[in-house]
Structure 1
Amino acid sequence: MVEVVRSLQTYYIASETDVMSAVMGCYNVARELGFDEGRVSEISTSVSELAMNVVKYAEFGRVELSELTNGKAIGLRVTVRDKGPGIRNIEDALSDHYSTGHSLGLGLPGVKRMMDSFELTTELEKGTTIVAEKWV
């Protein structure tokens, strides 16, 4: 059974500088939890993609990092919340090369592939929450 051991850090996101702070903090947390370099890179890239989406589409949000356990396994939960416009078509948003922001459209599908679990909830005009987990 997955349990949250503790909340580690929260980053408030409103600018690219905030994104970089969240990425660096996440990198350090993942290393401290014992993730290898490849997984640290996947987690950091995922945080970068998700936090940049906050800046591009919602203007303000937050990234929360939590330590998880499942028996003896250790994991990291990344929760990204915003109060932006929401995502109109989740299926399209999770498809490669789909973008409403004139980008490559690889962010959300890439995060879904890099992380061990990925859950997206959204409500139009109220915001989006993404919860992604990675295990050591």
Structure 2
Amino acid sequence: MEIQSCVKIINEWDIVAARQLGRNVAKELGFGTVDQARITTAISELARNIYLYADQGQICIEKVTNQNRTGVKIISKDHGPGIPDLRKVMEDGYTTSGGLGAGLPGVKRLMDEFSIDSTVSVGTEIITVKWLR
């Protein structure tokens, strides 16, 4: 049942497209409006990071099932500069863009599962999952 849809992130309109795709998938799976908002906020943050720091990448959204659970998986992948200090970017309040610094720690809080893999000069992949309650 893992059907994956991806949106290439090159410009700001692609962030909107990724959000819309995520909301549609979440709605289709039966997520309530609050969880739909959490999912789209996480997608927005991940896509914005690609746009700001990596020039381009992609957000992939897929429906996942695990035993008797259903959820949505979001994969953010880029071939940008990578993140030199993962511990630092996972600190609340840390910002390199002058934003609120809610970034990746915020994404982690919004979702049920979160993993990040980043190599300097190679790129970054972040995988998050939100399970239907």
TM range (shorter): over 0.9
How far did 1:9 drift?
Answer: 1.0
Q: How many aligned positions are there?
A: 132
2:116 aligns to what SS in structure 1? strand
1:6 aligns to what SS in structure 2? coil
- Aligned match of 1:95 in 88, 91, 99? 91
- What TM-score results when the alignment is normalised by the length of structure 2? 0.96
After TM superposition, the structure 1 = structure 2 runs for residues 42-57 of structure 1, keeping only pairs within 5 Å, are 42-57=38-53
Gaps of 5+ in 1: none
Aligned equivalents of 2:79 and 2:3: distance in 1?
Answer: 21
Aligned equivalents of 1:60 and 1:73: distance in 2?
Answer: 32
**CA root-mean-square deviation:** 0.8
2:106 aligns to what SS in structure 1? helix
1:68 aligns to what SS in structure 2? strand
Number of the residue aligned with 1:41: 37
Number of the residue aligned with 1:17: 13
How far did 1:7 drift?
Answer: 2.4
After TM superposition, the structure 1 = structure 2 runs for residues 1-136 of structure 1, keeping only pairs within 5 Å, are 5-136=1-132
1:111 aligns to what SS in structure 2? helix
Gaps of 5+ in 2: none
Would the aligned equivalents of 2:25 and 2:63 in 1 still touch at CA under 8 Å? no
Q: In structure 2, what residue type is equivalent to 1:79?
A: I
